[in-house]
């Protein structure tokens, strides 16, 4: 094992690997910055190209696109409040607030540092602990997933914003919206009113753009200050002091994100929100979160990136991809003659280590690539509003269409835009709604699976076999109450 | 302000009309522009991977690119409907499998008719499924499993990839043919189902031998039976040998085109796919993915489709009658 | 008992409460029933379980919130009334137009028209700037999307052929 590691290390140090990774990172960042044009698509398109390249060049290239894309998604989230993925929602909260204060550059810098740190740390952790993690992953099944998801929803409802009651209401609304379409367990139609368009449910991206970006754009349009820019300046770079202040948060978020990455089925969205909530809870000034607090950006970004490392473990050790991205990586591995699974480390350990090590180098490279690209991106806010807004609308609509190649989604975009504005006027925060929408389906699915597994005797099942899940479930109301009390004590003013 | 708007709008509309009136040239050789291959399933699945290989090699035979468009949703209906409604000019094709194509119509009402609205272009390959248990499970042979299942109806947990999917249907057929009950627990695909087996949440599942190779070799899983007329592994019986007869457990990956596609277009496509079968790079890549290559043309597959139609109708009636 | 204040907040809350209640009781119309396999339902939990739970909770919480708001004094800190309603309506008009015309008119035309309208709405008066923006940006994005990223955007056949002849690839 150790010899394989060092062999891999030497294999990874080649120019073409680094060059292709850099290309992937940069390209991925650009694609990720376009909401709707997902990096998943980009990876899938470029997958065949990787077939013809050396595995040590092709696979790092794909990984580069993935990593670049994840950061790319934060760019529109911060600059124009347009998160392209659920994971970027938490970032857009404080990120866009910072942009409005003229600190867009700081926000982007922080997102970059936090992302790279979280990613690198979790990758190193994965490499060192790959087999213990594999064992841990096996401990989690549907009951555990259900319990953790429920806990996450409660935490999100109680800690986001200042009014848990309103947050819960929005979350219920979001959950209900997620039920529209076909029920994930039985495939029967729910709330579709016979419309075929609704049969596959409400798409996420038009909703995200609609509730987050459109109200902001509308408020700019309605105010009509003619030569106004989105923000007065793009701001200065992040200072070392500011970064140092967030070290603890970044560290905490990385731990949270990595832990969440180990549990199959949770993903970046939960990680980002948990990191964010934890940081808010631990801070002395939680009311600043959401108004433009750099720590918020740091917490969300570090968490959602540190999910990546452990996600690779089931892929590498069992050959089972956990999500769409790892499925594409599986295809890339297999096409190159690498067979992920129990055999992988025995037969080709060096190559695998080389790829993982290249991934770490890629992260570090990205620090430079991102840092140099950020001034370009943050300049966007200085474009004249009358030019920027039409462009943003065009990208928003194009992205909403491209997401599912369905023109109905454009109407969904408009409808959710209206909803976003109404919610804003009614002083309801849309973030819990979006979280309910995203986490609703896995929650219900995990519950359905659990009930199927118990074969009738739920109580006995939980207490007998899955006491871990039972414990988490029992803690839910406790956590909810404690956090509620904490938020209340800070908010009473 | 309105004068300005009017002028700009008129100018733009005028330009648009001018372009719109540009009459296209007469019917040139197909294909003139890139072809879209719609996949009604999600990204990263075996269909997606197969399609990526196909679309990276077939352009050499068609002299035009073939672009994959993933349109998952409603169990495959969204993508299928899109192609059913698309123009029958050969520029939009559907890459699907037999369960979506022929079985779904018996389970729910569809906004299209698979047999009237589509014609097959080519069947790319097929994958036989296998019944697997964990390496350390007490079931050494299929008979052991059957005996245990009969003794404890509903006690054996079977992980499948979704209702009426490629693992569910063979499982239901098994339960019917052998008169036994498994507790069917759904998972989001074959991968999670396999993970459930390995982690102990499930006692039995099914999988495609191509993806199982690593686990079989390491002894993590044991194959109890495989689909098909011949044995895939020397010491493992076929479905027929353990008592489950008929066309069970095959997933055929097939390319369909809208029903009224012109004959010349279909011929061109079929030729391209036939050439693909001979292409060395193609076979090599598919081999790497663990898939076989058994391209049969549209007519030959249509015969199979007709058979499947009848068989699935009977199957669904039997399964849901109680 | 004082009257319920007519704020957006109240409207929203009460709408949630009432709709939730209605949906909860009409669940039979809204959710289909699953099929049966070998005498057991195909799903472990009925598809109406979670929806009813959620709708019920939504209703209860909304009523609770409405009650809380009713009892607490009005919050004078938020300015009531929205400025620029006309512009807001125009904004949504343009967006709806864009959404409805993208497929029939194609990406280029619908984008150009919508962007022109948005430019004027946000205060641009310079024709050449608007023209430049509306005529250059959509084709660029379209070509990048379809050629580089291999995704499809709706476009008129004529314009698509125009691109195909204009470019070598």
Residues recorded for chain A: 493
Q: Cis (ω within 30 of 0) for the bond into B31?
A: yes
Nearest-Cα distance to chain B for A160, in Å, is 30
Residues of chain A contacting residue C134, judged by C-beta atoms under 8 Å apart? 390
- Are residues C63 and C98 both part of a single domain? no
Flag whether residue B289 sits within 8 Å of chain A, measured between CB atoms.
yes
Q: How confident is the model at residue B12 (pLDDT cuts 50, 70, 90)?
A: very low
Question: Cβ contact (<8 Å) for B217 and A343?
Answer: yes
How far is the C-alpha of B265 from the C-alpha of A369, rounded, in Å?
Answer: 47
| Domains of chain B, each with CATH number or no CATH | 2-124+253-320 (3.40.190.150), 130-242 (3.40.190.10)
Is the Cβ of C124 closer than 8 Å to some Cβ of chain A? yes
Q: Do C153 and A188 touch (CB under 8 A)?
A: no
Q: What is the pLDDT of residues A372-401, one digit of tens each?
A: 998 888 888 888 888 888 999 999 999 999
Residue with tokens 């993508």: B79
- Reply yes or no on whether the pLDDT at A26 is more than 70: yes
Q: Are strands C36-37 and C40-41 parallel, antiparallel or unpaired?
A: antiparallel
Query: Strand, helix or coil at C54?
Result: helix
On whether both C102 and C153 belong to a single domain, the answer is yes
How many independent structural domains does chain C possess?
2
- Name the helix (H) or strand (E) containing A7: helix A2-12
Specify whether C14 is located in the same domain as C52: yes
- Residue B3, pLDDT above cutoff 60: no
pLDDT at B19: 41
* Residues of chain C neighbouring A226 (CB-CB closer than 8 A): 123
- Token pair of C62, please? 């909304």
C-alpha R_g of chain C? 26
Across the interface, which of C39, C151, C162 has its CB nearest the CB of B19?
C162
Domain range enclosing C57: 8-71
Neighbouring-strand partners of residue C37: C40
Which residues of chain B make contact with A139, given a CB cutoff of 8 A? 199
Q: Looking at the structure, do residues C60 and C130 belong to the same domain, yes or no?
A: no
pLDDT exceeds 80 at position A457: no
More confident residue, A121 or A184: A121
End-to-end CA distance of chain B: 71
Contact state of C113 with B1 under an 8 Å Cβ cutoff: no
pLDDT tens-place string over residues A95-106: 999 988 888 888
Question: What is residue C3's predicted lDDT score, i.e. its pLDDT?
Answer: 64
Predicted confidence band at B7 (pLDDT cuts at 50, 70, 90)?
very low
Residue B280 at interface with chain C, using a CB cutoff of 8 Å: no
- Provide the shortest C-alpha distance from residue C95 to chain A (in Å): 7
Question: What is the rounded distance in angstroms from the CA atom of residue A403 to the CA atom of residue A209?
Answer: 12
The length of chain B, given as a count of residues:
322
As separate numbers, helices (DSSP H) first and strands (DSSP E) second, chain B gives 15, 11
Selection from A275, A251, A89 nearest residue A174 by Cα: A89
Does some domain include residue C76?
no
Q: Residue B314: pLDDT band by 50, 70, 90 thresholds?
A: confident
Report CB contact under 8 Å: C115, A394. Answer: yes
Closest CA to B249 of B184, B165, B319: B165
At residue B1, the pLDDT reads: 47
- The mean pLDDT value for A46-60 works out to 83
Where would I find the H helices in chain B?
A: 2-20, 46-57, 59-62, 77-85, 98, 104-107, 114-117, 142-151, 168-178, 190-199, 209-218, 239-242, 263-278, 280-289, 298-320
Is any Cβ of chain A less than 8 angstroms from the Cβ of B59? no
Q: In whole angstroms, give the CA distance from residue A331 to residue B43.
A: 11
Report yes or no: A148 and A264 within 8 Å, Cβ to Cβ. Answer: no
Q: List the domain boundaries for chain A.
A: 2-492
Residue B42 near chain A (CB below 8 Å): yes
Other C-beta atoms lying within 10 Å of the C-beta of residue B302: 14
Quick one: tokens of C29? 């119309």
Residues 6+ apart with CB under 8 A from B212: B130, B132, B221, B223
CA distance A217 to chain C (A): 9
The answer to whether residue B78 neighbours chain C at the CB level (below 8 Å) is no
- Is the model more confident about C155 or about C169? C155
The mean predicted confidence, pLDDT, of chain C is 82
What are the residues whose beta carbons fall under 8 Å from the beta carbon of C68, sequence distance 6 or more? A165
Q: In this complex, which of A166, A169, A386 lies closest to C119 when CB atoms are compared? A: A386
Q: Which residue has the higher pLDDT, B16 or A469?
A: A469
Please check whether residue A110 is in contact with residue A293, taking contact to mean a CB–CB distance below 8 angstroms.
Answer: no
Q: Are residues C23 and C54 in the same domain?
A: yes
Could you give the CA distance from residue A301 to residue A296 in angstroms, rounded to a whole number? Answer: 9
Restricting to C residues 74-113, those with a Cβ less than 8 Å away from any Cβ of A are 78, 82-85, 87-88, 91-92, 95-96, 98-100, 102-103, 107, 111
Strand-pairing partners, residue B206, are B131
Q: Which two tokens stand for residue A226?
A: 């003619």
Is C48 inside a domain boundary?
Answer: yes
Co-location of C59 and C92 in the same domain: no
Task: Tell me the chain B residues in contact with residue C116 when contact means C-beta distances shorter than 8 Å.
Answer: 5, 8-9, 12
Identify all chain B residues contacting C152, using CB atoms and an 8 Å cutoff: 36, 67, 69
Q: Measured between beta carbons, which residues in chain C are less than 8 angstroms from residue B36?
A: 152
Q: Based on the domain organization, do C157 and C89 belong to the same domain?
A: yes
Higher per-residue confidence, B49 vs C168? B49
Decide if C114 is inside a domain: yes
- Above 50 in pLDDT, residue A436? yes
Distance CA B298, CA A44 (A): 28
Query: Are C93 and C161 found together in one domain?
Result: yes
B185 inside 8 A of chain A by CB: yes
For A122-164, what is each residue's pLDDT tens digit? 999 988 888 888 888 888 888 888 989 999 999 888 887 778 8
Residues of A with Cβ-Cβ distance to B69 under 8 angstroms? 405
CA distance A106 to A127: 31
Q: Please check whether residue A50 is in contact with residue B52, taking contact to mean a CB–CB distance below 8 angstroms.
A: no
Q: Is residue C113 part of a domain?
A: yes
Residue C57 inside a domain? The answer is: yes
| List of chain A residues whose C-beta atoms are within 8 Å of the C-beta of residue B285 | 51, 335
**Sequence-distant (≥ 6) Cβ neighbours of residue C94 within 8 angstroms:** C114, C117, C118, C121
Lowest mean pLDDT among A41-45, A289-293, B299-303: A41-45
Q: Count chain B–chain C contacts defined by CB atoms under 8 A.
A: 66
Q: Are the beta carbons of C117 and B5 separated by less than 8 Å?
A: yes
Element of type H or E holding A439: helix A431-454
Distance CA B185, CA A455 (A): 10
Q: State the pLDDT at residue B9.
A: 47
From the centroid of its chain, how far is CA C119? 21
Which site among C9, C15, C19, C51 would you substitute to test the A interface, given the most A Cβ atoms closer than 10 Å to its Cβ?
C51
* CB within 8 Å: B4 and C127: yes
Tell me the chain B residues in contact with residue A337 when contact means C-beta distances shorter than 8 Å: 288
For B206, the token pair is 């099914």
Closest CA to C138 of A477, A394, A296: A394
Are A215 and A424 in contact, with CB atoms under 8 Å apart? yes
At what angle are helices A385-404 and C127-143 packed, to 10 degrees?
20
Q: What is the mean pLDDT of residues C87-106?
A: 90
Characterize A211-221 residue by residue with b for buried, 16 or more Cβ atoms within 10 angstroms of its Cβ, and e for exposed. Answer: bbbbbbbbebb
Confidence of residue B23 (pLDDT cuts 50, 70, 90): very low
CB contact under 8 A, A455 and B155: yes
* DSSP 8-state class, residue A239: P
* C40 touches A: beta carbon within 8 Å: no
- For residue B28, pLDDT over 80 is answered with no
* Predicted local confidence at residue C115, as pLDDT: 93
Mean pLDDT of A13-25: 88
| Residue A479: per-residue pLDDT | 81
Q: How far is C97 from chain B (nearest CA, A)?
A: 13
Q: CA–CA distance from A325 to each of A120, A233, A267, A444 (Å)?
A: 18, 37, 12, 23
Whether residues C95 and C156 fall in one domain: yes
Long-range own/partner contacts, residues C83-86 (CB < 8 A, 24 or more apart): C83/A222, C83/A223, C84/A221, C84/A222, C84/A223, C84/A224, C85/A222
Contact A126, A310 (CB under 8 A): yes
Which residues sit opposite B159 in a β-bridge?
A: B185, B205
Instruction: Looking at the structure, tell me whether residues C67 and C89 fall in a common domain.
Output: no
Pairing, β B35-39 against β B66-70: parallel
pLDDT of B78 > 80? The answer is no
The residues that bridge with C36 in the sheet, in sequence order, are C41
Model confidence at C8: pLDDT above 80: no
Strand order across the B204-207 sheet: B183-186, B157-160, B204-207, B130-134, B221-226
Same domain, C65 and C89: no
B210 and A CB contact within 8 Å:
no
Q: What is the C-alpha to C-alpha distance for residues A169 and C56, in angstroms, rounded to an integer?
A: 11
Task: Give strand ranges (E) for A296-376.
Answer: none
In a domain, C2, yes or no: no
How confident is the model at residue A490, as a pLDDT?
63
C91 and C67 in a single domain? The answer is: no
Compare A344 and A493 and report the one with higher pLDDT: A344
Distance in Å, alpha carbon of A345 to nearest chain C alpha carbon: 34
pLDDT: is A349 or A260 the higher one?
A: A260
pLDDT of B209-259, one tens digit each? 777 777 887 888 899 998 888 888 888 888 888 888 877 888 899 999 998
B4 and C164 in contact by Cβ < 8 A? Answer: no
Interface test with B, best of C33, C34, C37, C150 (most B CBs within 10 A): C37
Per the domain annotation, does C13 fall within a domain?
Answer: yes
| CA torsion angle A416 A419 A420 A422 (round to 10) | 160
Q: What is the mean pLDDT of residues C26-49?
A: 74
Task: State whether residue B255 is helix, strand or coil.
Answer: strand
Cβ(A216)–Cβ(A80) under 8 Å?
yes
Judge whether residue A224 has pLDDT over 70: no
Per residue in A362-374, pLDDT (tens digit) is 999 999 999 899 8
Q: Which residues on B lie below 8 Å from A45 (Cβ)?
A: 68
Q: Tell me the average pLDDT across C29-36.
A: 75
Burial label, A194 (beta-carbon count in 10 A; 0-12, 13-18, 19+): exposed
Query: Residues B254-301: pLDDT tens digits?
Result: 999 998 889 999 999 999 999 998 989 888 888 877 788 888 888 888
Q: Is the pLDDT of residue A212 over 90?
A: yes
Tell me the C-alpha distance between A335 and B287, whole Å: 8
Query: Between chain A and chain C, how many beta carbons pairs sit less than 8 Å apart?
Result: 209
Structure tokens at B24: 């296209």
């Amino acid at each position: 094992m150790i010899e394989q590691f060092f062999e891999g290390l030497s294999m990874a140090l080649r120019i073409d690997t680094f060059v292709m990774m850099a290309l992937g990172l940069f390209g991925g960042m650009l694609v990720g910055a376009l909401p709707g044009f997902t990096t998943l698509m980009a990876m899938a398109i470029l997958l065949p190209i990787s077939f013809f390249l050396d595995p040590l060049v092709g696979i790092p290239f794909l990984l580069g696109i993935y990593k670049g894309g994840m950061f790319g998604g934060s760019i529109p989230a911060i600059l124009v409040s347009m998160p392209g993925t659920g994971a970027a929602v938490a970032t857009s909260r404080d990120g866009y607030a910072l942009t409005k204060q003229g600190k867009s550059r700081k926000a982007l810098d922080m997102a970059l540092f936090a992302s790279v740190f979280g990613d690198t740390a979790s990758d190193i952790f994965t490499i060192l602990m790959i087999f213990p993690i594999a064992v841990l992953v096996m401990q989690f099944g549907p009951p555990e997933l259900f319990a953790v998801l429920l806990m996450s929803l409660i935490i999100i409802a109680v800690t986001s914003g200042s009014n848990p009651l309103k947050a819960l209401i929005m979350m219920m609304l979001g959950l209900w919206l997620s039920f529209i379409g076909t029920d994930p367990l039985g495939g029967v139609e729910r709330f579709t009113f016979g419309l075929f368009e609704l049969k596959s449910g409400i798409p996420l991206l038009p909703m995200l753009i609609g509730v987050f970006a459109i109200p902001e754009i509308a408020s700019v349009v309605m105010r009509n200050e003619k030569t106004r820019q989105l923000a007065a300046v793009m701001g200065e770079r992040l200072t070392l002091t500011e970064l140092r202040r967030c070290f603890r948060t970044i560290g905490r978020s990385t731990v949270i994100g990595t832990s969440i990455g180990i549990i199959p089925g949770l993903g970046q969205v939960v990680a980002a929100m948990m990191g964010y909530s934890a940081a808010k809870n631990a801070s002395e000034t939680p009311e600043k979160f959401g108004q433009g607090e750099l720590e918020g950006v740091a917490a969300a970004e570090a968490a959602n990136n540190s999910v990546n490392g452990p996600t690779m473990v089931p892929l590498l050790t069992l050959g089972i991809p956990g999500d769409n991205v790892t499925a594409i990586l599986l295809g890339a591995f297999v096409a190159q003659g690498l067979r992920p699974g129990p055999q992988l480390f025995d037969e080709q350990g060096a190559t695998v280590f080389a790829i993982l090590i290249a991934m770490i180098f890629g992260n570090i490279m990205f620090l430079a690539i991102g840092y140099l690209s950020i001034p370009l991106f943050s300049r966007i806010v200085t474009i004249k509003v009358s030019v920027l807004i039409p462009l943003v609308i065009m990208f928003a609509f194009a992205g909403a269409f491209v997401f599912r190649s369905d023109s109905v989604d454009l109407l969904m975009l408009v409808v959710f835009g209206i909803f976003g504005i109404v919610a804003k006027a009614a002083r309801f925060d849309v973030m819990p709604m979006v979280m309910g929408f995203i986490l609703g389906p896995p929650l219900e699915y995990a519950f359905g699976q659990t009930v199927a597994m118990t074969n009738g005797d739920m109580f006995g099942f939980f207490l007998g076999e899955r006491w871990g899940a039972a414990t988490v479930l029992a803690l839910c109301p406790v956590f909810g109450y404690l956090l509620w009390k904490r938020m209340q004590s800070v908010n009473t003013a | 302000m309105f004068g300005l708007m009017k002028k700009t709008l008129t100018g733009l509309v005028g330009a648009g009309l001018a372009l719109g009136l540009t009459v296209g040239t007469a019917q040139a050789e197909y294909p003139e522009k890139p072809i879209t291959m719609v996949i009604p399933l999600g990204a990263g699945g075996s269909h997606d991977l197969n399609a990526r290989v196909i679309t990276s090699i077939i352009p050499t035979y068609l002299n035009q690119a073939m672009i994959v468009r993933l349109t998952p949703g409603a169990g495959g209906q969204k993508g299928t409907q899109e192609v059913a409604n698309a123009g029958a000019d050969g520029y939009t094709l559907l890459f699907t499998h037999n369960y979506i194509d022929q079985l779904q119509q018996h389970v729910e009402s569809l906004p299209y008719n698979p047999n009237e609205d589509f014609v097959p272009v080519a069947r790319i390959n097929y994958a036989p499924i296998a019944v697997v248990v964990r390496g350390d499970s007490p079931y050494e042979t299929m008979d052991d499993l059957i005996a245990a299942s009969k003794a404890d109806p509903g006690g054996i947990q079977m992980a499948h990839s979704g209702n009426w999917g490629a693992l569910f249907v063979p499982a239901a057929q098994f339960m019917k043919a052998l008169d036994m009950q498994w507790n069917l627990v759904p998972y989001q695909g074959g991968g999670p189902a396999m993970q459930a087996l390995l982690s102990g949440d499930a006692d039995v599942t099914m999988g495609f031998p191509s993806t199982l190779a690593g686990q079989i070799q390491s002894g993590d899983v044991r194959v109890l039976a495989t689909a098909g007329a011949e044995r895939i592994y020397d010491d493992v019986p076929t479905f027929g040998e353990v008592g489950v007869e008929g066309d069970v457990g095959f997933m055929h990956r097939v390319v369909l085109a809208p029903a009224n596609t012109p004959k010349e277009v279909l011929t061109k496509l079929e030729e391209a796919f036939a050439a693909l079968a001979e292409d060395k790079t193609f076979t090599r890549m598919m081999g790497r993915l663990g898939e076989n290559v058994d391209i049969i043309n549209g007519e030959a597959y249509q015969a199979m489709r007709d058979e499947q139609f009848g068989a699935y109708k009977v199957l669904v009636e039997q399964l849901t009658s109680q | 008992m004082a009257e319920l204040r007519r704020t957006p907040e109240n409207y929203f809350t009460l709408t949630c409460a009432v709709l939730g209640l209605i949906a909860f009781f009409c669940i039979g119309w809204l959710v289909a029933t699953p099929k049966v396999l070998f005498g057991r339902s195909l799903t472990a939990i009925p598809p109406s379980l979670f929806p009813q739970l959620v709708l019920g909770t939504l209703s209860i919480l909304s009523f609770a919130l409405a009650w809380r708001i009713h009892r607490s004094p009005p919050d004078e800190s938020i300015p009531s009334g929205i400025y620029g309603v006309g512009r807001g309506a125009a904004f949504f008009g343009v967006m709806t137009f864009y959404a409805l015309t993208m497929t029939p008119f194609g990406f280029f035309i619908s984008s150009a028209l919508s962007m022109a309208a948005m430019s004027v709405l946000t205060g641009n008066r310079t024709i050449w700037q608007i023209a430049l923006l509306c005529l250059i940006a959509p084709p660029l994005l379209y070509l990048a999307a379809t050629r580089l990223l291999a995704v499809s955007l709706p476009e008129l056949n004529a314009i698509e052929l125009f691109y195909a002849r204009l470019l070598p690839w």
